[in-house]
Amino acid sequence: MKTVIWDVDDVLNDLMKMWFEEKWLPAHPECKLTFEDLTENPPLGVLGITMETYLKSLDEYRVTNYESLEPVSDVLAWFNLNGFMFRHVALSSCPLFFAPISAKWVFKHFGHWVRGFHFVPSKRPGLNVPKYEDTKVQVLERFFEADIFIDDNPLNVREAEKRGIKTILWPRPWNNSRMKISEALALLSHY
């Protein structure tokens, strides 16, 4: 049975889309962009903001709204039909303070199939944590015999491919994936 490693935010859920539409746009009515215009992640240049402003806004949204995020409906439907054919692990990059909330969300929505949750602490000002693995690929090398890695970050995907892991670059406006979500899930089913 093959093991699939899933990114959480912007793959299993629509965190960036929901943050942008529910927090950023209402607070910035002068912004005329759509989610599809967010062609970089983080969207600093697109929105004309600093990393500090972005992280503060995103983290505020996470703390108040994350638990109510819905899974991507196509992904949940795929799990319902095909989840039993693979082993599944969630691998996220999120702030240390947020990891328990993210893990709870994953197991609430995907716990029928997902058997593990691991994370790489994303950097936050003033938060110093012991340094272990710095990247998702380092986590893959250390802890998992991954057959398939799914992520929306092209750098993570390229690094996993260099190590011989099959990958799927999850379609999002900030990467060069030309697939639709349904096509990405069909590809996964054929691996």
Q: Is 184:162 a contact under the CB 8 Å cutoff? A: no
Please write the tens of the pLDDT for every residue from 26-45: 999 999 999 999 999 999 99
Domains in the chain: ranges and CATH = 3-13+71-190 (3.40.50.1000), 15-68 (no CATH)
Edge-to-edge strand ranges of the sheet holding 166-169:
114-121, 87-94, 3-6, 148-151, 166-169
* Model pLDDT, residue 145: 85
- pLDDT (tens place) for every residue of the chain, 191 residues total: 999 999 999 999 999 999 999 999 999 999 999 999 999 999 999 999 999 999 999 999 999 999 999 999 999 999 999 999 999 999 999 998 899 999 999 999 999 999 999 999 898 878 788 888 888 988 988 887 899 999 999 999 999 999 999 999 999 999 999 999 999 999 999 88
Which letter does DSSP use for residue 21 in this model?
Answer: I
SS percent in the chain: helix, strand, coil, step 5: 50, 15, 35
CB burial readout 150-159, b (16+ within 10 A) else e: bbbbbebbeb
Give residue 133's pLDDT.
86
Tell me, what's the pLDDT at 138? 87
Asked if 119 and 99 count as a contact pair (C-beta separation under 8 A), the reply is yes
Token digits of residue 28 = 């910035």
Per-residue model confidence as pLDDT tens digits over 135-163: 898 898 888 789 999 999 999 999 999 99
pTM: 0.94
What does the alpha-carbon distance between residue 112 and residue 63 come to, in Å, rounded to a whole number? 25
